[in-house]
Amino acid sequence: MYDICIIGSGAGGSPIAYELSNAGFKVVVLEKGLLYDEKTFSKDEIAVSRRDMFTPPLWEQKHIINEYKQSGKFMRYDGAESGWSFWNGSLVGGSSNLMSGYFHRMKPKDFELLSSYGEIKGANVVDWCITYDELEPYYDKVEKVIGVSGNVVKHKYQEPRSTQNFPYPMLDTNGVTSWFDKACGALKFSAIPTPRAILSENALGRNACYYSNFCGSYGCSSGAKGSARAALLQKCKAKIVTDAFVYRLDAKEGKVIKAHYYTKHGISHTVNAKIFVLAAQAIETSRLLLNSKSKEYPNGLANSSGQVGKNLIFSAGGSGSGRFIFENLTKEQQKILMQPGLFFNRSLQDWYDYEDGCHIYKGGTIDFLFEHQNIISRANREKYDENGKLLWGDKLAEKIEKTLTTSRVLTFEVFNDWLPTDNCSVGVDEVAKDKYGIPVGVINLNSHPQDIEVGEHLAQKAVQVLEKMGAVEIEYSISGNPPPNLVAGGCRFGDNPKTSVLDRNCKAHDLENLYVTDASFMPTGGSVPYTWTIYANSFRVADVIKKNLRTSIAL
Amino acid sequence: MQTFTKRRNFLKTGVLSSAVVIMSGCDIFAITTSRDTIRVVQNDLFPKAKELGIDTADYITIVYRQHKISHADKEFLRNGVKWLNEAAVEMHKKQYTLLTEVKRQEVLTEVVKKEWGESWIDTMMGYIFEAMLGDPIYGGNNAQAGWKWLAFEGGRPRPTKVYL
């Protein structure tokens, strides 16, 4: 029997595997996907981006999506028929292999959203049951163990830190960042070098970034990116079982006793352990708990509160862009603009909260980055003219050549709170099943009107910067569309077992040996990408589990 | 095992060589293959590829073998060949590959007005770009000619095998 069985090998599960196996405990990690590593990753746009090689085909595994309108009516979409995918990365290390690694800590006020900004009609906002100060040592640990590079600069919303600066220096940046800094200076905005979970120098037994030009969406071939696989699983002795889709947990008398998994050929296996840690990414974690119902647990596991799957959240906001064209630049500026590989790495957090009229709103973060280098995608984007007419032939070739060789796009991404609501949740479908014969997850989607208002406010600030920099064709889109790679909630933690699924240590209130350590625990998401917080919280829970196991051995 | 693999590959590549029956009303007008039509229409849609020495037509063989492209999408590709030829017959009484360049452009201009036509040309263009600008290991982008055209360096490391 294993001491710990972890379901999911991403940012939520791997810190537990790393800490507990390095402490001498017997750990097994069950991962649905396969193993890819530095030797097998490549920058194959056709495989990675055009065919989504790291996610399952939707006709084999899908979701049912109910998109709610403010009226309360909803549209039902079959994921396979609509092509709407909520999969992120089925491989050892999960989607952390494919992240861009834009790393921001949550701010102290993110932990007390209700107390700081008050109730919001139609939103289930609560304070977290832990504070920033309790998580800070683990944010710090992530900087050192996962490896975060950057440079701390003073600004209004800089969160308190236990160290002066990041352990690794900033990555090299493109010269266009100086145009950005100048524009922000003129606008009196505080340009922040974006911290990245990417090593700028050889360290931690991993190689430094080699500026491949293909970072986000692709696996890292040097090990510089702080994926859960490169930073943690390859540095510990936990046993990794690949091709293991966990479809059910058996529990009896308040304890999980067994995990059942299928291989891709439909062969079923079981694993017994003293402690189970669930970290299959928010939607699949709730789905597994709901699919694990039994006579003793008729509403699914850990669900005596009826809260499993509730208050699903994403990152609200959207994205925008502006184009720099050769006609407006000197020869030297053109050369700087087209320099490949180097990062942009600039963020703005001036409006992490802001006053509008007599109300103070929680705002968010804006990250700036160059348009992805995927050349097939960029050529495809030129297929239509300004009137929406499909082009072909020489006219199209000329358009592609001019656009791709004499201009470059700077994009921005807005991150603000996706307010939790009653109509945003996870369930399981009563009819639709996946290729394993297991009921598929139902994703109920609803965005609160304030999400879009705040996103708009932030996007307009980003537009000011692009205008000041001299960009043209500036546009943006803020909407209630959920980014599938920025998902959290569904198993809130809290001190009240009637209104939360997990306790403050992310242990299920109902079960003495089940922990959930992906982003499911988050009652609100902050206005930053989640990965740093997921890692930090998982390291925090690892300490709790370690202490409990040592105590039980001593007894 | 080796014989089995070869046969499977033959069957998969055979999709492009198999007969496409072109109807004119209720009558069979002609029989062609997807490969013949695709080769001609791809050049009509993006002659730059040929100018750069890139053969994009054979890449469709790989498209038919890739498991992440759904059966329905592959069927649409094949049906589009049939519908394009039927539009050519309706307009000019000849299958697409036998028309002059001017008349072929007339057919494309007409079919793009239809929902299936716009979608099919858009899809075909996507595969042309994959062949031209994807990694040379897929058989197109000869000597990185597509990348050189757009002053693109490609990402490293490059793939060592074709993803199917």
pLDDT digits (tens, 9 = 90+) for B27-38: 777 777 788 999
Residues 172..231 of A with a Cβ closer than 8 Å to B: which? 210, 212-214, 218, 221
- What is the pLDDT at residue B16? 67
Interface with B, mutate which of A214, A383, A392, A400 (most B CBs under 10 A):
A392
**Shortest Cα distance from B86 to chain A (angstroms)?**
21
**Shortest Cα distance from B105 to chain A (angstroms)?**
10
Tokens at A62, concatenated: 């899908």
Q: Which residues does A335 contact at the CB level (< 8 Å), separation at least 6?
A: none
State how beta strands B27-33 and B19-24 pair.
Answer: antiparallel
- What is the pLDDT at residue A357? 85
pLDDT tens, position by position, A16-32: 999 999 999 999 999 99
Q: How far is CA A150 from CA A24, A210, A272, in A?
A: 33, 16, 42
Q: What angle do CA A13, A17, A19 make, to 5 degrees?
A: 120
Average pLDDT over residues A480-506: 97
* Chain B touched by A530 (CB under 8 Å): no
pLDDT > 90 fraction of chain A, expressed in percent and rounded: 97
Average pLDDT over residues A382-403: 97
- Amino acid type, A384: Y
What is the C-alpha separation between A455 and B115, in angstroms, rounded? 35
Q: How far is CA A385 from CA A378, A408, A476, B73, B127, in A?
A: 14, 18, 19, 25, 19
Average pLDDT over residues A159-175: 97
Chains A–B, number of C-beta pairs less than 8 Å apart: 104
Q: Which residues does A40 contact at the CB level (< 8 Å), separation at least 6?
A: none
Compute φ and ψ for A434, nearest 5 degrees.
Answer: -90, -175
Four-point Cα dihedral A91, A94, A100, A101, nearest 10: -140
Find chain B residues with C-beta within 8 A of A338's C-beta: 151
* Chain A touched by B75 (CB under 8 Å): no
Find chain A residues with C-beta within 8 A of B108's C-beta: 392
Run of H or E residues at A274: strand A273-278
pLDDT tens, position by position, A265-289: 999 999 999 999 999 999 999 999 9
pLDDT tens, position by position, B131-146: 999 999 999 999 999 9
* Chain B touched by A405 (CB under 8 Å): yes
DSSP sequence for A36-104: --TTT----HIIIIIS-TTS--TTTS--EEEEE-TTS-EEEEEHHHHT-------BTTGGGGT---B--
Residue whose C-alpha is closest to residue A80's, from A435, A380, A483, A484: A435
**Shortest Cα distance from A55 to chain B (angstroms)?**
10
Q: What angle do CA A115, A367, A142 make, to 5 degrees?
A: 70
Asked whether the predicted pLDDT for residue B9 surpasses 50, the reply is no
The answer to whether residues A284 and A441 touch, using CB atoms and an 8 Å cutoff, is: yes
What is the C-alpha separation between A215 and A251, in angstroms, rounded? 41
* Chain B touched by A46 (CB under 8 Å): yes
Compute φ and ψ for B148, nearest 5 degrees.
Answer: -65, -40
Torsion sign (Cα): A169, A172, A178, A181: negative
**Which residues of B25-121 form beta strands (DSSP E)?**
27-33
Find chain B residues with C-beta within 8 A of A394's C-beta: 47-48
Asked whether the predicted pLDDT for residue B1 surpasses 50, the reply is no
Cis peptide before B157 (omega within 30 of 0): yes
Name the 3-class secondary structure at A370. Answer: strand
The answer to whether residues B20 and B81 touch, using CB atoms and an 8 Å cutoff, is: yes
The answer to whether residues A98 and A216 touch, using CB atoms and an 8 Å cutoff, is: yes
From the list A45, A51, A393, the residue facing B68 with the nearest CB is A51
Q: How far is CA A90 from CA A32, A52, A53, A60, in A?
A: 6, 10, 9, 14
DSSP sequence for A155-207: -TTPPP-SSSS-SBPPPPB-THHHHHHHHHHHHT--EEEPPBSB-SSSBTTBP
Mean pLDDT of chain B: 88
* Chain A touched by B125 (CB under 8 Å): yes
Going by pLDDT thresholds of 50, 70 and 90, the confidence category of residue B6 is: very low
* Chain B touched by A327 (CB under 8 Å): no
Taking an 8 Å cut-off on Cβ atoms, the answer to whether A392 and B67 are in contact is no
Low-confidence winner among A104-118, A485-499, B20-34 (lowest mean pLDDT): B20-34
Going by pLDDT thresholds of 50, 70 and 90, the confidence category of residue A303 is: very high
What is the C-alpha separation between B61 and B13, in angstroms, rounded? 6
What is the C-alpha separation between B133 and A401, in angstroms, rounded? 13
Beta bridge partners of A384: A390
Interface with A, mutate which of B150, B160, B162 (most A CBs under 10 A):
B150
Run of H or E residues at A276: strand A273-278
Residues 135..164 of B with a Cβ closer than 8 Å to A: which? 135, 137-138, 147, 149-160, 163
Four-point Cα dihedral A46, A47, A53, A58, nearest 10: 30
What is the C-alpha separation between A55 and A48, in angstroms, rounded? 10
Residue whose C-alpha is closest to residue A271's, from A245, A298, A303: A245
Residue whose C-alpha is closest to residue B78's, from B59, B60, B101: B60
Asked whether the predicted pLDDT for residue A490 surpasses 70, the reply is yes
Q: What angle do CA A174, A176, A182 make, to 5 degrees?
A: 130
Find chain A residues with C-beta within 8 A of B69's C-beta: 51
Mark A466-489 as b/e (b = at least 16 C-beta within 10 Å): bebbebeebebebebebbbbbbbb
Taking an 8 Å cut-off on Cβ atoms, the answer to whether A390 and B147 are in contact is no
Beta bridge partners of A476: A320
Q: What angle do CA A146, A148, A152 make, to 5 degrees?
A: 150
Taking an 8 Å cut-off on Cβ atoms, the answer to whether A44 and B130 are in contact is no
Taking an 8 Å cut-off on Cβ atoms, the answer to whether A46 and B118 are in contact is no
Average pLDDT over residues A231-250: 98
| First and final C-alpha spacing in chain A | 19
Name the 3-class secondary structure at A468. Answer: helix
- What is the pLDDT at residue B14? 58
Four-point Cα dihedral B89, B91, B93, B99, nearest 10: -90
Going by pLDDT thresholds of 50, 70 and 90, the confidence category of residue A185 is: very high
ipTM value, please give it: 0.93
Compute φ and ψ for A77, nearest 5 degrees.
Answer: -120, 135
Closest chain B residue to A401, measured at CA: B150
Reported pTM: 0.95
Average pLDDT over residues A508-525: 98
Mean pLDDT of chain A: 97
* Chain A touched by B126 (CB under 8 Å): yes
What is the C-alpha separation between A295 and A299, in angstroms, rounded? 9
Interface with B, mutate which of A37, A390, A404 (most B CBs under 10 A):
A390
From the list B133, B138, B153, the residue facing A379 with the nearest CB is B133
